[in-house]
Structure 1
Amino acid sequence: MNRQRLAGLIRKEFLQIRRDPSAIAIAFLLPVVLLFLFGYGVSLNAEHVPIGVVVAQPSPQSSSLVAGLQQSRYFQPRFYTSIQEARKAMMQRQVDGILWLRGPFTRTLLRGDTAQVGVFVNGVDANNARLVEGYLQGVWQNWLEQRANASGTRLLVPIQAEARIWFNPSLRSRDYLVPGLIAVIMTLIGALLTALVVAREWERGTMEALMASPVSMGEILLGKLIPYFLLGMGGMLFSVALAIGLFAVPLRGNFFVLLFFSALFLLAALGMGLLISSVARNQFVAGQVAIIVTFLPAFILSGFIFDIQSMPAPIAFMTHIIPARYFVTILQTIFLAGDIWPLFLGNGLALLLMALFFLGLTWKRSRKRLD
C-alpha cells in the first residue's frame, strides 16, 4: 500500500466529485427531497377525519356530544338529516365514519338508562378505521366524564386505565418516521454513489487506465471508499440537522454514538455499492440493481414503516439479512429513547459483520484484469 498513490487516488475522486454534480445531488439534494416528502407528506396519524353526524332528535345532551367532535382536531363533522343520506355519503367516500344518535337517545339518558349510539366506520383502510374508532371512543369517554362532573356524581367505570406513553408522548408519527428515513437515505447514498461512480469509470474507459497503472486493487478500492464515505457522512449530518432543526425530532441519545453507528452502517452500504459495481459495469444496470437490492428492502423490510413483528414468519426471518433493519432500530432508539447499550451492542455487531462481509466479498471479487 503506497500512501502517495492512495493520496493521489483520493484527490482524483474528490476532483471528480467536484466536477460531477450528480454525486453532490445524491448526497445532499436527495435527503432534502425524501425528508420533505415523508416529513410533510406521510403521516400515520389521522387528523381532520370527515365524519357524518345524524341526530334524530336534537337536544342539549346531543348538542354537547356533537360539540366534542367539533372541538377535536381529529374530526371534521358533517351533518346529515337521515341515516340513509349519511350511508350514501360514506359509500361515496365523502366521510370515513358515521355517528348516529338515534331517536330515543335523549329520553333514555333522562330516564337514567343506558343509551345506544350507532357508529359506522369505513373499514377499507383498516389502520384508519382503528384510529377513527379509538378517537370516537375517546370523545365518548370525555363526554361521559363531563356529564358526571356537571351533575356532581362520579362516573362509575369497572376499570380505570392510566396510560403512560413512553419515548413519544405526543404520538407524532413524524418523530417515528424521520429517524427511520435517515437509514433509507444513507442506504441510497452509500449504494448509489459507489455503484454508479465505479460503473461510470468502466463506461468511460478510465478503469482500464487504472488497471494499467502501478496502483494495487486495494488502493483502488480505498481510493473509492474513503471519499464517498466522507461524502456519505456529510449527507448523514445534513439529514440529522434537518430532522432536529426543521422537523423538531428530539435527539435524546449521544451524538457521537449516533456518529459511530452511522459510520458502521455507511461502510456496509458502501460495501454493497462496490459489490454491485464489480458485477454491473453499466450505470443503468448498476442503478437498477442498487435500487432493487438495497433501497426496496430497506424501505419495506427494515421496520421503517411496516412492523416486522406483524410480518409472516418467513418474511420476518428474511429481514435479518437487511442491514437497514438494525440501523433503523438504533436510530429510533437514539432519537426517541436515548442510549440503550444492550440494544446497541447486538445491532452494532450485526452491522459490523455485514460491513466486513460486503467489503471482504468485494475485495475477493476485485482483480486487476478486464475480464
Structure 2
Amino acid sequence: MNLQRLRGLIRKEFIQILRDPSAIAIAFFMPVFLLFLFGYGVSLDAKHVPVAVVVDQPTAETSAFVGGLQQSRYFEPQIYTSMHSARQALMARKADGILWLRSDFSRQILRGNTASIGVLINGVDANNARILEGYMQGIWQNWLQQRAFNAGAPLIIPVNGEDRIWFNPALRSRDYLVPGLIAVIMTLIGALLTALVVAREWERGTMEALMATPVTMSEILLGKLIPYFIMGMGGMLLSVALAVWLFTVPLVGSFWVLLACSALFLLTALGMGLLISSVARNQFVAGQIAIIVTFLPAFILSGFIFDIQSMPAAIRIITHIVAARYFVSILQTIFLAGDVWPIILWNSLALLLMAAFFLGVTLRRSHKRLD
C-alpha cells in the first residue's frame, strides 16, 4: 500500500464531497431530521388520554374522585350523563376508556364496605390499553390513600409494595427510545454514505478512470472508507448532542466508551454499504437495497421498539445477524445504566466480527476489472 496514493484518494474524496454535498446532507441533515421526526413522533407514554366519566349519583365522594382524575396529567375526563352515551363516545373513538361510578359508590364507601368502580378500556391498541389500566389503578389507589389520610385512619391493604425503578426513574419512554433511534438512524446513514456515492461513481464513469490508475483495490476501498467514516462519526456526535441537550436523555456512562463503540458500529454500517455498492452499481438500486437490508431490520428486529425476548424463537435467531441489535443494547446501557462491561464487551465483540466480515467480503469481491 502506498500512503502517498492513499492520501491523494482521500483528498480527492473530500473534494468530491464538497462539490456534490449530497453526502453532507446524508451525514448531518438526515440524522437531525429523523431524530426530530421519530424523537417527537414516537412515544410509548400515554398522556392527556380522553376518558368518559359516568356518575350515576353525584356526591362529595364522587366529586373528590373525579377531581383527582382531572388533576392528573394522564387523563382528560369528559363527563357523560349515561353509560349509553359514554359507550357511543368509546365506539366513535372520542374516548379511550370509560370510568363508571355506580349509584351505590358513596353508600358503600360511607359504610366502610368495599366499593367498586367500573372501568372499560378500548383494547384495539393492546399496549395502550395496558398502560391505561395501570394508570386507572394508580389513580384509584392514590385516592384511597388520600381519603384514609384525611380521615386519620390507616388504609388496610394485604400487601404493601415499595417500588424502586432503576435506570429510568422518570419512566420516560423517550429516554429509552432515543438511544435506540440513534442506532437505527446510523445504520441507514452509514450504509447510504458508501452505497450511494460508490454507485454514483460507477454511473458517471469516474470509477472506470480510477481503475486505470496504479492504485490497488485496498487503497480505493480505504480511500472511500476513511472520509465517510469521519463524516459518519460527525453525524454520530451530532445525534448524541441532540439526544443529551435537546431530548434531555441522561448520559450516565463514559463518553469515550460510547465513542469507541460507535466507531465499531459505523465500520460495520460502512462495510455493509461498500458490499451493497459492489453488488448494485446503480444509485436507485443501491438505495433500495440499503433501506431493505439495513433500515427495516434495524427498526423492527433490533429491540429498538419491539422486545426481542417476546418474539418467536425463529425470529430471535434472525436478530443475531442484525448489527443494530448489538448497538442498541450498547447505547441504551451506556446512556441509562452506565458502563456495564459484560454487556458492552460482548456486543462490541459481535460488532467487531461483523465489521471484519463485511469489509473482508467486500475486499474479496472487489477487483480491478469492469465486469
- Report the secondary structure of 1:369's partner residue: coil
Normalized against structure 1, the TM-score is what? Answer: 0.99
Tell me the SS of whatever aligns to 1:103. coil
Q: Distance in 2 between matches of 1:15 and 1:59?
A: 77
Q: 1:212 Cα shift?
A: 0.8
Matched with 2:211 is 211
Q: What residue is the counterpart of 2:294 in the other structure? A: 294
* TM-score for the superposition, normalised by structure 2: 0.99
Which residues of structure 1 form unaligned runs of 5+?
A: none
- 1:256: which partner in 2? 256
1:349 aligns with 2:342: no
How far off is 1:112 after superposition? 1.6
Alignment-derived partner of residue 283 in structure 2:
283
- Aligned residue pairs total 371
Q: Distance in 2 between matches of 1:112 and 1:198?
A: 76
TM-superposition CA deviations, 1:235-287 (whole Å, max 9, x none): 00011111111111110110100000000000000000000000000000000
Q: 1:130 & 1:160 partners in 2: Cα distance?
A: 22
User: 2-side partners of 1:64 and 1:39: how far apart?
Assistant: 37
Deviations 1:295-342 (A, max 9, x none): 110111000111101111111110000010000000000000100111
Structure 2 equivalent of residue 361 of structure 1: 361
Deviation at 1:175, TM superposition (A): 0.6
Q: Match of 1:361, SS?
A: helix
Q: Which residue of 2 aligns with 1:313?
A: 313
The structural deviation recorded for 1:344 is 0.8
- Aligned letter for 1:26? I
Corresponding residue for residue 270 of structure 2? 270
- Alignment pair present for 1:72 and 2:72: yes
Extract structure 1 runs of 4+ deviating beyond 2 A.
none
Q: Which amino acid aligns with 2:337?
A: A
Write the deviation string for residues 161-207 of structure 1: whole angstroms up to 9, x where unpaired.
10101000001111111111111111111100100000000000011
Q: Identical aligned pairs, as a percentage?
A: 76
Q: Which amino acid aligns with 1:198?
A: V
Shift of 1:19: 1.1
Cα separation, 2, equivalents of 1:332 and 1:33:
21
Secondary structure of the corresponding residue to residue 228 of structure 2: helix
Aligned partners of 1:331, 1:212: CA distance in 2, in Å?
Answer: 43
Distance in 1 between the 2:359 and 2:101 partners? Answer: 65
Q: Which amino acid aligns with 1:341?
A: W
- After superposition, residues 37-48 of structure 1 pair within 5 angstroms as 37-48=37-48
Q: State the distance in 2 between where 1:344 and 1:88 align.
A: 52
* Structure 2 residue 16 is matched with structure 1 residue 16: yes
The DSSP-based 3-state class of the residue aligned with 1:43 is: coil
Deviation of residue 40 (structure 1)?
1.3
Q: SS in structure 2 opposite 1:87?
A: helix
1:172 maps to 172
Which residue in the other structure is 2:229 paired with?
229
Farther-moved stretch of structure 1 (204-213 vs 103-112): 103-112
Deviates more, 1:121-130 or 1:111-120: 111-120
* 5+ long unaligned stretches in structure 2: none
State the partner residue of 2:186.
186
Q: CA RMSD in A?
A: 0.6
User: Alpha-carbon deviation of 1:13?
Assistant: 0.5
> What SS class does the counterpart of residue 100 from structure 2 fall into?
strand
Structure 1, residues 65-119: CA drift from partner, whole Å, max 9, x if none?
Answer: 1111100000000000000100010000000000000111111111221112111
DSSP 3-state at the match of 1:177: helix
